[in-house]
Amino acid sequence: SLSAACEKKTATQLVVEVVKEDYLVLSLPLHGNAVAFAMTKSYNDRSKPFMRFKVGQRLSGTPVRVGPNRRTLVLLQQTASDVAGGAASDAKEGAKRAAVKPIDPSINFFEDYVPGLATLAKVTSIKGVQANLDLASNIKGRLHITELLDDASSIVAKSPGDVFAAAGVHVGDKIQVKVIGLHDAKVYKFLPITHRTSPLKNVIDVTVRPSLLASEWAAVDKSDSRLASWKSTKPGDVFKGFVKGVQEGKRKGKTVVLVSLNTSLVGHLPILAATSSFEIASHPARFFVPGMPIEVQVSLIDPKSRDVILTPHGSFIAGVERPIASRKLLVPGARIICSVFKTMTTAMFTEIELVEEADSSANSKAPRITHVHGSVDAYHAADELSAKPFGKYTAGELLEAVVVWVGANSKDEHIKVGLSLRPSVLNPVKFPPSGAADPV
């Protein structure tokens, strides 16, 4: 249709996207928002283009040539009425971009997709924790996994697709959705309603939560978790999110579980603060599969890295052994998981994380991750003495150990414990003690 318009010299609607000194970058709403260019000066008018043209201004013009290599670039010749002065009234009126072949026949323009609008969309693909939608041929939408159900805690998901299937969302389906906002297509930043929008640069966010589809408007108050960011989130806040994946070496070289808290906020759950099961901690990707519903609570916000550090909360995940929740339980004989921090010839130092409940005396609602310093001497490294008992261990490696002593003068921030890695201590039934006496 664009080539035909060039041949017939048919006037069409234009929208100003960028104003330069010598030319304009425009979009053609009636031709799939194709990109076009127009000169800003002529022999008859040498006035400054920044005074005559504004971003978002609606003009009319005639396409004269289509660019090569199938690029949607055209050269446009403005009509005399646009140059003469019709620009000011059009700028105030605002520009509307046509929706090409909308899924919902009642939609005419991109601007019709306002928050609270119930409309139709077609599911084109499901990738990771989001479904990609077509609202029209030139307008894209996104349905995030957190916008599927009011309560997903009962779902047993082995992949994100299981959660979408439970909500009745499948590739190729036309589904009823409700608009909740839009985000930048490049950086996935949620944009305020006052932000200038474009179907070329923005994607419309929608929801299919039953409670919101049933309501007249998709009202979002200030306390809604959908608006949460690393700046607005506070320690103690509770989220019902979904596992996005597992990343090794993300936080100070330690493994973390990535949790989608909303469409743009991802939290970090340290694996040592997530479970006391050595099997799960050693192979987290086998258990914490993407799409798994998970309930977490914010422990702290790292202002430098902007990381939201999480801890288990509520039902968390059924069947998961939680880590030790109090220093009172850190006694000789307790089994723990630790991470190797440093190895020496005669000793090895490890790190342990306790997830302690909020301290009511300190008026805090946030759980605290307490770091414990563990040490293993040569005698407790193995049942058989060796010249290099710690040679096989590497920094960051996870180990299962048994507490043999707890420092009597340990302060809150410097708890010290002694650990044993001897098989006879870890599993005395399978590995009976050798009878070798402690040389110390």
Judging by beta carbons within 10 Å of its beta carbon (0-12, 13-18, 19+), is residue 387 exposed, middle or buried? exposed
Distance from C-alpha of 137 to C-alpha of 18, rounded to nearest angstrom: 23
* 438 three-state secondary structure: coil
First to last CA, the chain: 89
Most confident by average pLDDT, 18-32, 85-99, 369-383: 369-383
pLDDT at residue 116 in the model:
84
Would the pLDDT of 121 be above 90?
A: yes
- Decide if 206 contacts 180 (C-beta within 8 A): yes
- Residues of the chain above pLDDT 90, percent: 15
Helix, strand and coil content of the chain, in percent to the nearest 5, comes to 15, 40, 45
* 340 three-state secondary structure: strand
**pLDDT tens, 228-262?**
888 888 888 889 889 998 988 655 557 899 999 98
- Decide if 142 contacts 132 (C-beta within 8 A): yes
Number of C-beta neighbours around residue 356 at 10 A: 17
pLDDT at residue 418 in the model:
92
Average pLDDT value over all residues in the chain: 79
pLDDT at residue 358 in the model:
65
Distance from C-alpha of 334 to C-alpha of 323, rounded to nearest angstrom: 11
pLDDT at residue 36 in the model:
83
pLDDT at residue 122 in the model:
95
- Decide if 262 contacts 146 (C-beta within 8 A): yes
pLDDT at residue 69 in the model:
54
pLDDT at residue 316 in the model:
65
Distance from C-alpha of 325 to C-alpha of 330, rounded to nearest angstrom: 9
**pLDDT tens, 274-284?**
888 888 888 88
- Decide if 16 contacts 94 (C-beta within 8 A): no
Q: Which helix (H) or strand (E) holds 83?
A: helix 80-84
* 257 three-state secondary structure: strand
Provide the b/e sequence for 159-169 (b: ≥16 CB within 10 Å).
ebbebbebbeb
Residue in 175, 173, 167 with CA at minimum distance from that of residue 120: 175
pLDDT at residue 376 in the model:
93
Would the pLDDT of 124 be above 90?
A: yes
Q: Which helix (H) or strand (E) holds 24?
A: strand 23-28
- Decide if 167 contacts 149 (C-beta within 8 A): yes
Specify the higher pLDDT residue, 430 or 33: 33
pLDDT at residue 90 in the model:
40
Distance from C-alpha of 295 to C-alpha of 277, rounded to nearest angstrom: 18
**pLDDT tens, 69-79?**
545 455 555 54
Q: What one-character-per-residue DSSP string does 64-113 give? A: EEE-STT--EEEEEE-HHHHHTTHHHHHHH---PBPSS-SSTT--BGGG-
Q: What is the mean pLDDT of residues 327-348?
A: 87
pLDDT at residue 372 in the model:
86
Distance from C-alpha of 440 to C-alpha of 434, rounded to nearest angstrom: 16
